[in-house]
Structure formats: structure tokens, C-alpha cells
Structure 1
Amino acid sequence: MPTAEDNGINKHKSMETYALLKQRGNECFKSNDFKASLEHYTQGIINAPTYCVKESEKGEHVTEYPLAILYSNRSAACFRIKEYEQCILDVDRAFANGEHGHAREIKLLCRLAWAYWHLKQFKRCAGVVDRLLKQQNGKKYKEVDVLKALLERNVDKNDNLYLKSEPIGEEVFEKEYTFDNKQLNGASSNVQLSYEPEKGRFLKTKYGLLPGDGIISEETYCGVLNRKYIGQYCNYCFTECALHGIPCHGCSKALYCNEKCRLKAWNVYHWLECSMWPILQQVDAFAHVALRVILHGAYEFSLKNKNMKESDCEKDAEPYPFLCIAADLHKLYPPVVNKATKNKKKGKIKQQQAATPPPNVNKNGIDPESHVYNGDYWSIYCLQTHANEHLKTVLAKSTLYANYIAKVLNQCFPGRGKKQSNTSKNPPNGCSTKVAETANVIRSTFMRLSFKEMQANCCRHSFFEIEPLKKRVEGVCEQMAVNAPNPSVKQRNLFMSKELPQTFQSIISYLLRHHILQLYTNSQAIFNVIRDNMHKDEEVSTLQQQRIATALFPTTSLLNHSCSANTVITFKGRKTLIRSTRTLNVGDEISHSYGPCISRHCYEDRQEILSKQYFFTCHCDSCLKYEQGDSDERAFLQQFTAYKCKKCEGPAVIMEGSFKNEVIMGKCLNVECETIQDLTEASTRYNNIVHITQVIAQRLYKRQYNEGLGMLKRCLSGMDEILYKNHQSKSNIHDQLAYCYTHLRDYKSAAKHVKESLKTTSMRFGTMSMEAARESFKVATLYFNANMPGEAKVFLNKTIAVYKKILPDNSEEIRKAEQMLATLKAYREQFANYPKSPSFKVE
């Protein structure tokens, strides 16, 4: 979806931007392109100011409410595409964000009443009609009379049809996947934390697990959207809201799915980030997440103080625990030196990589009194940083960003320059007066930047005219962004000092660097399933996982890696759900894949990736089998890129070093054959076919399906002659052939080719994998469209069986598959005598 920036629109809120986007939205609405009008209205809402005072022709000052107008227009677009629930929300927002003339109020209320009518919420519809009748002012409206007549005929008989919307999305997820483990935050009661010197902390089963059992369901501690998805996904819960989002009142960057997310984001971190976009654009995602970790920690500690009141913000009281960051997050314990780690050759002493936590928290982030892993700030703080193992370039970059952000914040929040005379209010030991005073300023800022106050004043006043902090932060950030450091340029004196941090800037810099280093090995990518652009909304469209955010999950971070993991991870907004993929016995370790796995990487590649990024050598069951010579996983993967052996038609691979010579030699992987052969001609033919497929892709994009179909068949015939039967390129050709047949409405032939692709996918990833399930759903969809319900039902049952063991029960993919299955059953009941295909079985 094009964003405001793509069209050269002003990045700040302005009436010019509002007028331009409103005009574009109205033009699309008039041409019945309601989805496009939604996009423009939403972008207008993001960029529009809350209100604007204009001078009329008579010289009077008139207040205009752009947000109210755009929400009203967007509600009309939602109504036209039958998104009635979203229409109701936007009508409410239109009333909440400004005043309307009498005619517009009547129009909005009529739209609201009709939306309730279509949702069969007759009581609410009747309430809106009563309100309309009171506001007619003696003038009759035909639409109101129609609604009144409909209600008089139906409400008495159908009063019980007032339906309360069933909980959807996040509510269902919270209800079904809320675990009650009293020791581990977000974990099932069937999971326990264990420790071994070789493995460190890890999770294992307490009673055993079956395939599909839930293991962990937790909310991210904090995360950051990838930049290309800003404006398309919620800035707090990471759900898609490109068409129906609501903006931050202060900036034109952050978009939210509802008011609840906007309030949470503001209270935790956006109160500061709202004015820091010039700086955040200069740093990478890890530095941004690290900043949010600190802000979330400060917010977390503020909630723990039960006596904190809003009126206390103007008092010179003793700093709250969360504000004196030096005192309460660190206690400023001196670095612990372990003499046993002294490097004899270099004569250097290694420093512990994390400061000692407070006395009530042990080094594993577990409260020693309650023995609970809370998943709070200290759980994050105690994750490994591997500070002594990172490359110098990584350390330098982390230090550079940490110092840069700390310097900006130090200028944004200067100390008050007033010493505390009362000895009872002196800062804790090791914490300078300046640090405590700065902390007091931050505390006051937290308390004054109340979102409740912002909401109350947004219609009449600009919130940031009330709070001058925005201008100060914006001014500092714009000035600092001009001279932002370049991480690619070699810098001097970038490494953190081993001296005890004393000032506000040095403490913030230390914490930021600490969390940035943690993120290199503990961050979790949040994925969303997105259809590819070329085949979008098609029966054979490819579902791809796109990384939309980078986040930290405290309990999930405790899982160790395995190249053949026994869990699968899915996401629902800010929440993650981890389920078992196979049966686990009592005491078995629960493992998770960090990326490298046996279905995509050979042993050497896996070890190299894990060693470079995570600093360990994997000794999982799969790697041990390879080391003991029990299996050759390289041969398993090579068959998907192998040529056809000229003697036995088995998989033949190019021998190492062959590319250096003009003659390319290969060897058959079949143990009974192992023929060494010349693959030069086969390699040349394969490269030519690959080039042809690129030309075909362009023709398919231009909808030249008949021409593309003939060329693809010739390519497939050529590949059959030179490539092994399980070669991945042949599977890709089958997918393209299915795409052509689908557009030519030959669904049966399309299903035949997708089934061929399914064979390769199932062999590589397993029959119970998501990859195989999605291919199976493609086949079912094609048979469904080909009016072959028997075959469709077979593949649908296979798909649903896999989905229910991996995905949450309320996921979109399960819903679509079950909806298709229900349609097939209804079709069978209605037409009981239609010819049945051989594979169709009556239940």
C-alpha cells in the first residue's frame, strides 16, 4: 500500500496534507473504489491535525475538525464494503473528535443505525433511532421513517436476536492459551526450568507432551516494527491496520489498531518516541528495541510503587524506585573481577558481562524468595550478552549507538541543578546528586505526559502546547540527527569504560549497550503470513512469512536450539504461541530452532551459522548422529539440487572444485552406483532453462497465459531429462503451470501440478509441516473449484489435521479451511445424488 511519504506528502501533520488525501479518498469513493478510498482516508487521518482555526469570508474564526470529517468519510467507505463493525467504530470516533453540523449528525446516526441493523443488533439500532427522532427538530427524514417501520415490524418478534459480538482475535487467544505455571511466566504447568553447566538454563517437560500441546504463550516484553511496515501495522500490538488504523495525536508516524493500543504505547514508550523520530531513523532496530526495554523497565517499576499519585509529580519527594536508574536498576555495584579468567598471554582481566542485580533477584532473573521467573525487566537484563565473544565491529557499533542515544537523552532531560538539602532524600550510595535530579525530571515527565489529559484536550487544544517537552525533544533530536555518527566509519574510543558509571548519560549508555548486545542472540523475529504480490488473491497464491517486527520474549529466550526442534512457533499480534510437534516423554528437553535446521541446511552450514551468530557448537541429536557417521544429511539436501545420473537416474551432484575447470564433473550419490560423470552439458542446459523461466515470468505478469503454458511445458520436459526427480526447480515449474491453468479455468490440471509440487515439499519438510499443509490446501482449493468435492475433502482433512497441531484454533488459515469443509458437507447434503468421485467417502 502506498504511504504518504511515497507520494511526497508532508511527514508532519498539516492541513495541506489532510486536504490532498481527503480529495484523493473522495475521488476513489465516487468511482466506487472503496478499498482505495479507505487507504487514502487512513493516510489522511495519520497526517491530519486534530483541529484548525480558519477565518471565514465574514472575518469570523471558524474551527474545523479534520479528524472528525475523515473518520466520518471512512465510516461511509466501511459501510459500502459491509465492514459494519468497523463502520460503527469510525462513527463513534467521528463524534469523539469534533463537532458536526446538524445534517452531518443525522447522516452519521442513520449510518450507525443501519450498521447495527445489518449486524442484527436490534436493541442498539432502536436506541439510535430514538436519538434520531429526538434530533429531527420537526423535520422528517425518509431514512429514519424506514428504520422505524422496520423496527416496529421486527423488534417485538425478534427481540432475542440482539446479538452480542462473539469474542474474536486477541480475546479468544487469551482465553484459550493462558497457562497457569506458577514458576515460569507464560509457560504451561507441564514445563519446568532446569540448569546444566554445559547447557545453561533450559526448559524440559514435567509430565510429557503430545503433538499440538501448548507449551508457552507469552506477550513480548517489547518490540519494534520493521521500518517498511510502519504505517501498515499497529505500533504496539503488530497487527495489520493499514485500512482502519488510528494515529498518534502528536506525530504522523505511529499507527494503532485501536485506542487501547494507542494508550498502552503512549504510557510505556511513545511519550518520548513521538518527538524522537529524527534520531530513531539514524539507528538500527536493535538500538531502538534497547531504548524501549529501558522505557518499559521504568514504566514497570512505576507500576510497582502502589503509593505513586499524579499529584506527587510536582513535589520534591524522594525519587521513585524506577526513576533513579542508577540506584534502582543497577545499584551501581562495582564490576566483579574473576581472577581465574585472567588471560596469561595478554595479561588482561576479563570483566563480568552484566552488572550484579539487586539483592532480591539472582543472576538467572529468578526471585530467590518466590522462586518465580516473572518475565519482568530483570528477566530481560539477566539474559546473556556474550560481550567477550562478539566481533570488534559489533561491539563498536553497539557502543556507538548507545553513546549516541544517551547523549541525546542527556540533552533532552537536563538536571535541575538544585541539590537536595534533606539528608533523607539524598541519592543512594554511589549515585551522584546530578543523576538523582535528572531522575526526578524524568519522573515528572512520566507523570505530566498523561494520555488521559491528552485525550481530554485534543479537540480544543494542541496537547503539545500544554506540554513544552515536545519542542525541546524535537529541537534536540533534529540538531543531533544532522551530525549522527556513521557506524561504517572507523571510530576511536568507542568501547565502554570499565570505570563505574556515575552520570545519567554514562548509565543510559551502559544499559543501552548491554541490551543491544543481548538482542544479537536473544531477539525473536515476529512473522506474519503474507501472500506474494504476483499471485495475490489467487487459488495458487504462495503464502510467505515476512518479518514484520523484532521483539524480546523472556520465557521463549530460555529455549535451547536444536536442528530438529520439537516445537513450532506462531504469532498473534504481540503474543507468541509455542506448541509441540511430536510426543515428548517426562524430562525431555524442549527445543526451538534458532534458524538453521536439517530441512534447509547441511551440518557444516548449521555449525558455521550457530558459531558465528550464537557462539556455540550444536550437539543436538541430529548433529550427534552426523558426527557419529549414522546419517548423511548433506546427501538428503543435495537431492533437491541434484542432476540425474546418466547410469541409474539417481541424484548426481557436482564434485568440489569442478567449477574451476572447463569440464564440470559430478558423482552419483547412490551408494550402489557412485558413477563419476561429465555434467558440463547438463549444467549448461539447466542454466539456459532458468533464463527462459525468467522470461516466462514476465509474460505471466502480462497475463499471456497460453504462451507461458507452452513454454513452461517445454522447460519441464527439458528438466525431466537432466534433473533428478526431486529437484526443487521442477517443483517451481509445476507451481507456475498450476498458476497458468488456474487463470485458464482448468482447475483439474492445475491441481495435478500442485500435487507434484506437494510430493517434493512433503519429502523435504515432512508431511506434518506447515509447508506441506499449505500446498495441500492449494490442492483442496483447486479441486473445490473444479467441482470435485471428494478429492477436495481428502486434502482438506489432511490440511486441517496439520493446522490444528501447529496454529492457534482461532487462526485465519484454520477458519478458511473449516469453512470450505462445511461448504462441501452442505453441498453433499443438498445434492445427495450427484456423481461421487472414487475417493469420496460418506461418513
Structure 2
Amino acid sequence: MFEGSNDFNYFQEHCNAVINEAFKNNTRKEKRRFKRRVLREERVEDRIERLDQNQNLRSQLEAWRRNFKRSKAKSRTLAFEKLNEARQLLNEKKLDDALEAYSQTILLLPFPDESKDDTDSSDLWVHCFVQRAVLYFQMKQFLNCVFDLEQAIKHTLDNSLKVLLLCYRFYCIKMSKSESENQVKIELQSENDLLDGASAFVNLKDTSNKGRVIVANRNLPIGSLVVSQPAFVSWLRPIYYDQYCNHCLHLLNKRCIPCRKCADVRYCSWNCSENAWNEYHKYECSHVPTIKNLVFGTMALRTMIKLGTDNVMNYLSHSKPSDWEKTKLGDNLPTIFSLVSEMQTKDNDFEFEITIGAMIMAAVAEEMRIIKRSNANYYSFCSLLRKFILQTLLNCFYIYEESIKQSDFGILAVESDYKDIGFGIYSTASMFSHSCDCNANRVFVGSHIHIHTNREIKANEEITIDYGADVYHNSYKYRSTFLKNSFGFYCQCDSCSDKLENIHFALRCPICEGLVILDKLNENDTSNYCMTCEAQNVNVKPLLENISSADSYLKKSEKHIHKSNVSKAKGYLKKAIKIYDKCYVTDVALKDCHSLLSACYLNQKRYNRAFLHCLQALKLQEIVTSKNSFDYLHIYLNLMFIAAKESEEKRQILLEDNKLFVQDCFREISDIFQNLISREVKITNSLNLKYLSDIRQIANSFNFIDLPL
């Protein structure tokens, strides 16, 4: 359990630390016997009561509670130190560093409303926001400038300064118009009356084998937005506390709003600051250094706080399993309570661990004064925390930061590789079932999730996502093992029912030259089988070593291309192609090599060679994504861009030799382009937009003027 993460495993580490310390004087046999006695109890409350009767465990929980780390308090002294540092950096023209120093000053300053000397605090508050606004203005970040000016206007008691700042704000609003237009906007065309954050074109359906599933209620074209909603509860990785909003997980870009009490968290806006405070942070505020490391436990406790402890306890006493059917499904108690909270597969070690994890979070709740140990419902409270921890584990999403920006034609451009910044649980999005060949993808803007179709979906067809394993990248054995260990179920999607393998990355069998499927259950696993000769665990170590060398050649070639050292790059790429060709059965792995070789030859003005490698990359891209993709269109436009570099006579020969005709090529390009930009959600890597703005110019170079764009 708790697979596939690094600091996401903090909760498990805390659970194991408490267990190991509590039972350090017991033999392994004694531990097993005690565990069996605990798990023999049918009711979770009875299990928790039995655990609570163990004096060693109870003492360890008390000791763990006493070691809570406290949040960093506001400090006028430290704030002045940071303010002086900011001024010094400003004098040295180090604008980025000065910006961060002013932000830290704002974090450390006592809130004007919370300070005894309100006038003095307001003056300092105004000074810092004005100075930070000036910095943003110098950096041409006008929207941020507007936000900071609004805070200065709100808190200043000087009317003449207020007038000046209002004029300044009005000017910045005019200047920020282009920034506002480039902000990412993904919105549902029509909203569902029964499913919060869902499209009107989907329904919830009850099935005998899978329970609730989300289905289309009409034919949905590719790119249809089916869900768009903020997280019900989210958790931010501790390493990103200085970079992202602690509530909505938006990137801060060095502009932050503080908590009213502590200096440990940052927010992107006053709305987020106030929402976080009202929903859960007023309980967590003094305990941030402890709570931020408890991951799933933190999310479970936030769920309890947000729903209301008394409400949850009352609902537990009077609810029925079908109560969710009587209300609109959204961020409410019946909906959240109805999310999956038990695993199909049983794991006694995990069950024991998670129950003690619930007791740890109950100790946290005691420290936050949410509940008292003397409360008659204390064990029920622990039981509910266990339920919410399991719900979080089974229903949450990794949240990725993808640096998405609005581009031409309404296309969303992903500016960089994604990084996982936290977790989120959602009232509607968490209801989607898994498929290893899913028909919908997700994208995040902060913790706001957007789920869109990746192919056409027929009416009454189920809409599915993947839970981190798919048939293109992973073997059947890996998918089965990963889903069982991570989510506690055996996958029964069509791909798994047919035991489909990721043959695009099949290795060449050293015995029969057939397809060897590598299980890859972990980083060091080399277990495999040959689909052709049925040999088990053939020796693929030499193949894997060669592939590792080829991968390093590919990376070296990219570095040399960036340094314009094309000859060396070509040498590395040719080596990589030779190795990949020997090790893999299919040519899919060669796609990037051909694209990079094409770029090398283009740089050397050897257009014929560049064209041929680009054409090969195009054919391989069609295998990976089909023709109707931004990746395919990008390579296609690159191909025509290369051809346009040749003289008209050579160009004609080049195209005809490869059975390509100008009229047909540009009509196909036009059809693909129209198909892509007509989608409701249009998203791709920013690199794929390189030639889109020049599409008409490329067509004109072929004297093709009938491009219907």
C-alpha cells in the first residue's frame, strides 16, 4: 500500500514509527497474535477500543502528541529584519530577491486586524504592499500590481495616498488587459442538475458489477469537457509550501497572501486565505509543521472538519447507504460519505496500519481541540477518520502542475513537463472508474480538475480514466499488480480481460526474435515472457543495458543540438537508432531519434535527408496517437516546412518519390487542423504550436492558397 510516492509516504512512516516503538519489546509471534485479536473484532470501534487498551501503544501516541511542532508565529522584529533586507536588495537592483523578501515581510507582519497597535500595523502593511506593487510594475506584472494596490488601498488611513493609489490601480488595470486575456479558461458549456461540476451530457448509472459509473447520455465528440470542479479537499507537498497556494495549489510566482495567525502557509488570494481559514485552517494554524507531513491523514481530518464533526457523527447514526440518491451530488455529506471506502482485496497488515493511523489523527484532533478523549463518541470518531483515510487513498488524484497557458485558436499550451505537487479528492471526479484503455484524460489548473474525452464516446457508454496504469506503457502483469496493491481491486476492463500487452515496447527475444514483454513490477524487476515462443524469464539483461546506453545517447544528442554541435548530435542519434532497432521489435521507440535527426539535417541545410527522417517520424507518430492529434499535425507541418526549403523542382521530386502530393497534403493538414480547433478542450505541449502560426505562410510557399482556415 501507499505505493509510488516519496514524501507522499510520510503518513505510512508515521504509522510504522508508532507501531515499531509501541511493540519494540514484543516478539514477532506476539505481534502477530495481538494483530489477529484486534482484527477479529467485526466493528472498527471495537478494534480501536482494543488497541487503546494496549498501554504501550497508548503511551506512544501520547508521546507522539507531546512532540508536536508548533507553527512559526508572526513577529514584528523578524518582519523588520526582512524589510531592511528587501530595501537593500532593491538598492542592489536584485528585483526577484527583493520581491521574495517583501513577501516574507508580509508573511511575518502581524495582521492589522489582529494587532494591538492597528495604526502602526496598517502603515507597515500598506508600505510593503505598495513596494511590492512597484516591483511588479517594474517587472510588467500588472495583474499582480493591481492585487497589491487593492490591499494597500483597503488598509491605508491616508486619504491622499488612497487617491494616488486608486489612479495607479486604474492605469495598471488597463495595462493588464493582455494578461487577463491569456489566463486559462476551461468552463463547462452546460452544467448537470444532479452532478456538481459535471456536464449536462453525462449521467450517473448504477451497475451490478461496478456499482456507480458515469456514462454519456448522448454521443460526445473528442475533446468534450465532462467534469470541471475544484478539489473538495487537497494537500500540498511540504517542499512546495513556498511556491504554491496552500488552498487551491495555484503557482504563486512570488506573490503571496499570508495567514492571519501563522507565517507557515501562503495563499494566492484573500479568497483562498479566508476559505482555508473558515474550512479547516483555523484548527490547523498552530500545528502546520506537524499536519503538513501527514498526507492522507491530513486530508481525512480536513474532510471531517469541513463536513462538521457533529454533522458527521449524527449522519453516521441515522444514515442509510442509499441516502446519496436523495440529494444533488456535490460537496456535501451524503456524497462524500458514499465514495468508495473499502478495498475488494483484504490485507491484514494494511488494515492494522490504517487503524493505528486513524488513532494518530485522533490524537492530532485532540491537540487541535476538535474532540476530547473523554467524549463518549471518541472511538466512533476514530472509526470515521479511518473511513476518510481509506476514502482518500482510494479516491484521490495526484495533482500535477503543468504550466498551462492560453494560446492562439483557444489552444491550451503546456509550457513544461508536469510535476506532482499534491493530492486532491473530488465529489464528482472521484466517481470515475478506471480503464487501462481509458476514453478520458484529466488536466489540472491548480487543484481544479478538468476531465475531457480523448476519443468519441457513444450515448450510454461509460466514461473512464486511468488510475496510473495503461495498456500502452505497462504490461498486463504490472497493471494487475499495481491496481491491486494501490487501490485494492482486480481490473476487469476490456484490455485486462483480454490480457493485452504493451507490444509497442516489446523487446526482441534472443531465442526466437519474437516479442518479449517485460513485467517491470518495480525498478529492478526483469521478469518477462515471450509472446511468440512462450519462453519465461529469458535473459534480457544485455538488451536492457544496451537500451540504457541508447537512452543516454539520445539525451546527449539533445544537449549537443542545443549547443548547435550538430555533427556530434548526429553521431549519438545514429548509435541510438542502431541499438533501438536491435533491441525493440517495433520502431515506435525510434520516433524521437528520427525527429532529432531531421532537425540536425535541417540545420545543415541537407533538406532531402531532413525530409526523409521527418517523414519516418510522422509515420511512427500516427501509430502512437493517430492522425487527429497536435503531435501529428506538428510533425506534418514540419515536414512541409522542410520541403518548402528546397527549390520547386527538387521539392516536386522529393514529394513524388514519397507518393505525396501538395493538394492532398494541405487538404489533409486543413482537415486535421479544423478537427483539432473545433474541440471543446484543445490542449497540447507548447512545442507542438511552433508551426501553427505559420501554417498559411507554409501553404503559400507551395502556391496553395485554398487553405480554409
Same fold per superposition (TM over 0.5): yes
In the alignment, the residues of structure 2 paired with residue 201 and residue 527 of structure 1 have an alpha-carbon distance, to the nearest angstrom, of: 26
In the alignment, the residues of structure 2 paired with residue 581 and residue 512 of structure 1 have an alpha-carbon distance, to the nearest angstrom, of: 36
Letter in 1 for 2:213: F
**Distance of aligned partners of 1:779 and 1:765 in 2 relative to their CA distance in 1, 3 Å threshold:** closer
After TM superposition, the structure 1 = structure 2 runs for residues 279-678 of structure 1, keeping only pairs within 5 Å, are 279-283=290-294, 285-298=295-308, 323=310, 326=313, 328-331=314-317, 358-359=318-319, 362-368=320-326, 372-386=328-342, 389-413=345-369, 435=375, 502-503=376-377, 505-530=378-403, 543-626=416-499, 633-634=500-501, 637-643=502-508, 653=516
Q: TM-score, normalised by structure 2?
A: 0.69
Identity of aligned residues (%): 19
Partner of 1:91 in structure 2?
A: 149
Partner of 1:341 in structure 2?
A: none
Q: Report Cα offsets for 1:36-84 as digits up to 9, x if no partner.
A: 5444433443344446999xxxxxx976844333322221222123222
TM-superposed deviation, 1:119: 5.5
In the alignment, the residues of structure 2 paired with residue 195 and residue 53 of structure 1 have an alpha-carbon distance, to the nearest angstrom, of: 51
Partner of 2:215 in structure 1?
A: 204
Partner of 1:773 in structure 2?
A: 630
Letter in 1 for 2:316: H
Q: Report Cα offsets for 1:453-472 as digits up to 9, x if no partner.
A: xxxxxxxxxxxxxxxxxxxx
Is the 2:644–2:701 contact (alpha carbons within 8 Å) kept by the matching residues of 1?
A: no
Letter in 2 for 1:83: Q
**Distance of aligned partners of 1:837 and 1:268 in 2 relative to their CA distance in 1, 3 Å threshold:** same
Partner of 2:35 in structure 1?
A: none
Count residues in correspondence. 603
TM-superposed deviation, 1:297: 0.3
Q: Which of 677, 681, 695 lines up with 1:807 in the alignment?
A: 681
Letter in 1 for 2:271: K
Partner of 2:246 in structure 1?
A: 235
In the alignment, the residues of structure 2 paired with residue 387 and residue 644 of structure 1 have an alpha-carbon distance, to the nearest angstrom, of: 38
Partner of 1:836 in structure 2?
A: 701
Q: SS at the partner of 2:401?
A: strand
TM-superposed deviation, 1:513: 0.9
**Are 2:705 and 1:719 aligned?**
no
Q: Which of 175, 188, 191 lines up with 1:179 in the alignment?
A: 191
In the alignment, the residues of structure 1 paired with residue 449 and residue 288 of structure 2 have an alpha-carbon distance, to the nearest angstrom, of: 28
In the alignment, the residues of structure 1 paired with residue 105 and residue 387 of structure 2 have an alpha-carbon distance, to the nearest angstrom, of: 40
TM-superposed deviation, 1:293: 0.6
Superposed CA RMSD:
5.1
Q: Report Cα offsets for 1:732-785 as digits up to 9, x if no partner.
A: 5456667889999999999986775565454234444xxx53575588689889
Partner of 1:461 in structure 2?
A: none
In the alignment, the residues of structure 2 paired with residue 778 and residue 253 of structure 1 have an alpha-carbon distance, to the nearest angstrom, of: 47
Q: Report Cα offsets for 1:553-591 as digits up to 9, x if no partner.
A: 222233222222222223334433333333333332232
TM-superposed deviation, 1:95: 3.1
TM-superposed deviation, 1:290: 0.5
Is the 2:340–2:391 contact (alpha carbons within 8 Å) kept by the matching residues of 1?
A: yes
Letter in 1 for 2:365: L
In the alignment, the residues of structure 1 paired with residue 392 and residue 159 of structure 2 have an alpha-carbon distance, to the nearest angstrom, of: 53
**Distance of aligned partners of 1:69 and 1:411 in 2 relative to their CA distance in 1, 3 Å threshold:** same
Q: Which of 74, 79, 95 lines up with 2:132 in the alignment?
A: 74
**Distance of aligned partners of 1:516 and 1:105 in 2 relative to their CA distance in 1, 3 Å threshold:** same
TM-superposed deviation, 1:200: 1.5
In the alignment, the residues of structure 1 paired with residue 275 and residue 608 of structure 2 have an alpha-carbon distance, to the nearest angstrom, of: 51
Once structures 1 and 2 are overlaid, which stretch shifts more, 212-221 or 714-723?
714-723
Letter in 2 for 1:602: S
Is the 1:245–1:256 contact (alpha carbons within 8 Å) kept by the matching residues of 2?
A: yes
In the alignment, the residues of structure 1 paired with residue 610 and residue 79 of structure 2 have an alpha-carbon distance, to the nearest angstrom, of: 47
Letter in 2 for 1:606: R
Q: SS at the partner of 2:421?
A: strand
Which has the higher Rg, Structure 1 or Structure 2?
Answer: 1
TM-superposed deviation, 1:363: 0.7
Q: Which of 208, 218, 223 lines up with 2:229 in the alignment?
A: 218
TM-superposed deviation, 1:286: 0.9
Is the 1:365–1:373 contact (alpha carbons within 8 Å) kept by the matching residues of 2?
A: no
Write 1 or 2 for the structure with the bigger share of helix.
2
Is the 1:800–1:818 contact (alpha carbons within 8 Å) kept by the matching residues of 2?
A: no
Q: Report Cα offsets for 1:572-613 as digits up to 9, x if no partner.
A: 344333333333333322322222222112222222222223
TM-superposed deviation, 1:411: 4.1
Q: Report Cα offsets for 1:165-207 as digits up to 9, x if no partner.
A: 978858x545x444133x3333333333222332212223333
Q: SS at the partner of 2:701?
A: coil
**Distance of aligned partners of 1:513 and 1:71 in 2 relative to their CA distance in 1, 3 Å threshold:** same
Is the 2:634–2:691 contact (alpha carbons within 8 Å) kept by the matching residues of 1?
A: no
Letter in 2 for 1:292: R
Letter in 2 for 1:363: P
In the alignment, the residues of structure 2 paired with residue 778 and residue 27 of structure 1 have an alpha-carbon distance, to the nearest angstrom, of: 50
Is the 1:72–1:90 contact (alpha carbons within 8 Å) kept by the matching residues of 2?
A: yes
Is the 1:12–1:251 contact (alpha carbons within 8 Å) kept by the matching residues of 2?
A: yes
Is the 2:506–2:515 contact (alpha carbons within 8 Å) kept by the matching residues of 1?
A: no
**Are 2:172 and 1:115 aligned?**
yes
After TM superposition, the structure 1 = structure 2 runs for residues 749-760 of structure 1, keeping only pairs within 5 Å, are 759-760=619-620
Partner of 2:524 in structure 1?
A: none
Q: TM-score, normalised by structure 1?
A: 0.59
Partner of 1:155 in structure 2?
A: none
**Distance of aligned partners of 1:722 and 1:840 in 2 relative to their CA distance in 1, 3 Å threshold:** farther
Partner of 1:455 in structure 2?
A: none
TM-superposed deviation, 1:291: 1.0
**Distance of aligned partners of 1:557 and 1:21 in 2 relative to their CA distance in 1, 3 Å threshold:** same
In the alignment, the residues of structure 1 paired with residue 584 and residue 289 of structure 2 have an alpha-carbon distance, to the nearest angstrom, of: 53
Is the 1:599–1:765 contact (alpha carbons within 8 Å) kept by the matching residues of 2?
A: no
Structure 1 segments unaligned to the other structure (5+ residues): 1-9, 55-60, 121-162, 299-321, 332-357, 417-431, 436-501, 532-539, 627-632, 658-663, 829-833
Q: Report Cα offsets for 1:654-673 as digits up to 9, x if no partner.
A: 8999xxxxxx99979699xx
Partner of 2:62 in structure 1?
A: none
Is the 2:400–2:422 contact (alpha carbons within 8 Å) kept by the matching residues of 1?
A: yes
After TM superposition, the structure 1 = structure 2 runs for residues 680-719 of structure 1, keeping only pairs within 5 Å, are 686-690=547-551, 703=563, 705=565, 708-716=568-576, 718-719=578-579
**Are 2:203 and 1:192 aligned?**
yes
TM-superposed deviation, 1:244: 2.5
Partner of 1:730 in structure 2?
A: 590
Partner of 2:282 in structure 1?
A: 271
Q: Report Cα offsets for 1:521-565 as digits up to 9, x if no partner.
A: 21122223149xxxxxxxx99842322231122222332222222
Is the 1:738–1:754 contact (alpha carbons within 8 Å) kept by the matching residues of 2?
A: yes
